[in-house]
Amino acid sequence: MKKVMTIWTIALAVVLAIALNATAYAKNHQVKLLTSDDNGQNMIMSPGYLKIALGDSVTFIPADPSHNVESISIPEKAAKFVSPMGQKYSHTFNVNGVYLYKCTPHFVLGMWGVIQVGDAENIEQVNKDWSTLSTGVAMNKARVSAYLSQVK
């Protein structure tokens, strides 16, 4: 009985060590929601395309009170997200795939971003969604298409 308890204790310790190790290596990334950037681009996420690891988080930092983020096309089992207007917001990404998101008031101006978490399992659906959504975008459509082309 003592030997069985020892094996279970060791197994539990290994599982806890792996879980704590994964948490210790999770990173926090930042995306700035800018009215304009140093290159003269308007209504832009910086960076517009971001590849992160499973379990990483992203902090979205609005340049002014008129910006937010809202998930639009995400992996099937992922949680949707939407931030309050003008407030810093963090989201942890726990499902692999591609996330297409926008600034709600500026989506028509092409203020969109793409986050890839691990494998791009849902890229076909995201591209299909973008094809439909892009009809409502008046400016900077090529920017979003360029972000999506970086997904591997």
CB 127 within 8 A of CB 133: no
On whether residue 12 sits in a domain, the answer given is no
pLDDT of amino acid 25? 86
On whether residue 115 sits in a domain, the answer given is yes
Q: How far apart are CA 87 and CA 74, in angstroms?
A: 22
On whether residue 4 sits in a domain, the answer given is no
3-state secondary structure of 152: coil
> What residue numbers bound the domain in which 85 lies?
26-149
On whether residue 1 sits in a domain, the answer given is no
On whether residue 37 sits in a domain, the answer given is yes
Q: How far apart are CA 96 and CA 118, in angstroms?
A: 5
Q: Give the residue carrying structure tokens 């704590």.
A: 20
On whether residue 102 sits in a domain, the answer given is yes
Number of Cβ within a 10 Å radius of residue 91: 20
**Total domain count for the chain?**
1
On whether residue 10 sits in a domain, the answer given is no
On whether residue 9 sits in a domain, the answer given is no
pTM for the full model?
0.84
Q: What tens-digit pLDDT sequence spans the chain (152 residues)? A: 566 556 655 655 555 555 444 456 899 999 999 999 999 999 999 999 999 999 999 999 999 999 999 999 999 999 999 999 999 999 999 999 999 999 999 999 999 999 999 999 999 999 999 999 999 999 999 999 999 999 99
Q: What is the CATH number of the domain that holds 62?
A: 2.60.40.420
